[in-house]
Amino acid sequence: MEIFEFALFTKWEDNLRFLAEVLADKEEWIYSNPEKEYNEGNNSARYSYPILRNYLEYTFQKIKAENKIAYTEDKK
């Protein structure tokens, strides 16, 4: 995921679970048939909360493409 090249995420799975179960709106963050999704080439189907994971990645890619990411003076 491109987002991991940009930032360090510690305890990613724990934080993703917290986001999905506590912070985010109550949504179905998993596929109804993950095996079918995976067999059709959707590799994210093998992970927990694949829909939320994809949402975060594509949102990051979008704001990056739109140059909406701010950096500190030392670029960190």
Alpha helices in the chain (DSSP H): 2-6, 12-18, 34-39, 50-65
List pLDDT tens digits, range 32-62.
999 999 999 988 888 899 999 999 999 999 9
**Nearest-angstrom CA–CA distance, 38 and 46:** 7
CA distances (Å), origin 71, targets 7, 25, 59, 64: 12, 29, 18, 12
Q: Residue 74 corresponds to which tokens in the numbers above?
A: 């030392």
> Residue 7 — very low, low, confident or very high, per pLDDT cuts 50/70/90?
confident
Gyration radius (Cα) of the chain, Å: 14
pLDDT of residue 76: 65
